[in-house]
Every structure is written in structure tokens, then in C-alpha cells.
Structure 1
Amino acid sequence: MNRDDEAAYREFVSVQMDQLRGLAYLTCGDWQLAEDAVCTSLAKLYARWRKVERPESYARTMVVRAAVDEVRRPWWRREQAVGDAMPEPAVRDGTPDVIDRVTVLGALRTLPVQQRAALVLRYLEGRTVQETAETLRCPEGTVKTNTARGLAKLRERLDVAEPQGSIAGPGQIERAS
């Protein structure tokens, strides 16, 4: 890699690092695993820097895939079954917005990783069903199913009624893209 490419890569990492960490955390629910996922993804991006046309999209896709892979590893399941529950983030100022975010993040962490990843990509990243399916390497129908089931579980855990006219209710498949 020449100096210009190296400088461009460093600039990209400095600008994108916090967003990539946040995306990885929302996907896997653990800051250490999120950091591992981001580092793994950025190492792969570094090796392919000159070949990648859209580094932001590539990095985000790789981070989600790496975060999902980190959670699927057998040691993680074993540690989670034996270890204590994840600690709740501290709420410092007690404002309703902060409390709501902490509550939603806590509920999001309880979802299976595929449902969590589908919800993060669809609603927090704003990706389409097709883009989400490509990122997660699964059929679009699976994305729709995971989205609908994840939303239903979130509503249940947050004790929120299903919105009137909802297209992604319990037992239904999301119809919109």
C-alpha cells in the first residue's frame, strides 16, 4: 500500500471507528466482542483497501457479519450460560430519553443474534430487506421473519402494544421493504 492509500485508510478509520463500534455493539450486545468485530473487519478492509469501491458499506457489512460470528462462537454460549448476566448501563441524568434508550438496549440484548442483527440493520441503519439479506447472507424471507419476530419479542419485553395497522405483528411476516 502506498502512502496516499495508507493516509486515506487512516482517515477512514478515524472518522468511522465510533460508528462501527456502535453498530457492532448493537448487533452483538457486548463491548469487547464489538471491539473484536471492528478490529477484525478493519484488518480485512486494510488488506483489500485498493480494491474496495465503497469502503463505508463494506466496513459496515463486515462489522455486522463479524459481530454475528462472535456471538455464535461456542465459547460465548458457554460463558453466557455459566457467567453472570450482562450489567445494565448506568443512567446518569435520569432523563426519560436516556432511560428509554437503556431499556430498549436491554431488551434488544435479549433477542437472538439474527433477530437483533435484522432489527439493527433495518431500523437503525435504515437498510432495505434486500440489503439486510445480502449483509446477513440469508434469504429475504428470513430477514422478514427475523424482523417480525424480533419486533414482536421487543414489544412483549417492553410491554408495548402493537401499533394499529402494523405490518409486522406477532406471527405475521413484514410485507414492506
Structure 2
Amino acid sequence: MSAFEIRPTEASQAPAVLALYRAAAAGSGGLARRPDEMDLAYVEGFLAKALAGGVSLGAWRGEALCGEIHASRIGPDQFAHVLSDLTVAVDPAWQGQGVGRALFQALFAAAAQLSPQVTRIELMAREGNGGAIRLYQALGFVVDGRFEGRVRTPDGRLEADIAMGLLIPAAGGAA
């Protein structure tokens, strides 16, 4: 039996997701927002968007939320095959225990069930977040580009934002 269970996130769980995001942001600094830049309305907004045609999943141990991942559709029909605005957060106490990888695997499985079919998943990663970039590459994401000087770190340095994408073969073999 796994130490955690992955299941769909519900809008009513926004307070737990907010607490998780604040803890994750205070820890490794992998999230774009600082803890004080997140509130319930922010979380309710991204959950609503993900739940309206995308994916939001939580990793739970009992009633404790260990991690969350979400991605959403980005708009016009020409992008209906794309999941974007992807964010993953893992509680610092659970980092390094396979929660992030398990959340991604569950996201891929959930995305395969969506209609219209998803054939691309994309995310952004701060260049200084090497551990996350290595995980994303191990999962099959490739670097699509760099936005030089886009991210200002808390200490004032500027870093590139790394655009990454994963192509998923469409049913019938075409990506």
C-alpha cells in the first residue's frame, strides 16, 4: 500500500490546497508566488479553471494533502489539444518521496481520458530549479525555449524561465 493516495481535487478543498501551496512556497522556493501572494481567491480561481476541462489532482495521506498538480486548457479551439498553466506543489515534508513523479503520472493518465484529446502538456520552470527540470526531463518533457531575465528571485537575481513541453501521440499515431 502506498503512503499516499492520488485522487481528483475538488473545489471545496481549496483551503487545504492554499495551505499546501503556502508551505511549498516557503520551503524550496520552486513556486512562482511567495506565500503572502497567495490567497483563497487565487486557489479557487486556478482550481475552477482546471476543473472546467483540465485536471487537478491531490496526493493525500488520510486527510493531509501532500501534493497537488493542475493544468488547464488555454482557450481558443486551436489549442484544445493543449494542457497548460501546469503547476505542481509538494509539501516540503514529502519532497523526495515520489509524490511529484506520482502526481505527474496520474496527470498523464487523467489527460488521456479528456475530450478533446490532449496531445501536448506544457509548463514553465525557473532555471535555478534544477531538481524540477531534471524530473520534468525524466518524465519526457523537452525544453522548448528560454525567457531570459523573466524571473526575479527573492535575492534580486534575474533568471530565465524555461518553457518545456511534452508531446503525447494522438490516437492513431499522429502527434
Task: State the TM-score, normalizing by the size of structure 1.
Answer: 0.29
The structure number with the bigger radius of gyration is 1
Q: Normalized per residue, which structure has more helix? A: 1
Q: Normalized per residue, which structure has more strand? A: 2
Task: State the TM-score, normalizing by the size of structure 2.
Answer: 0.29
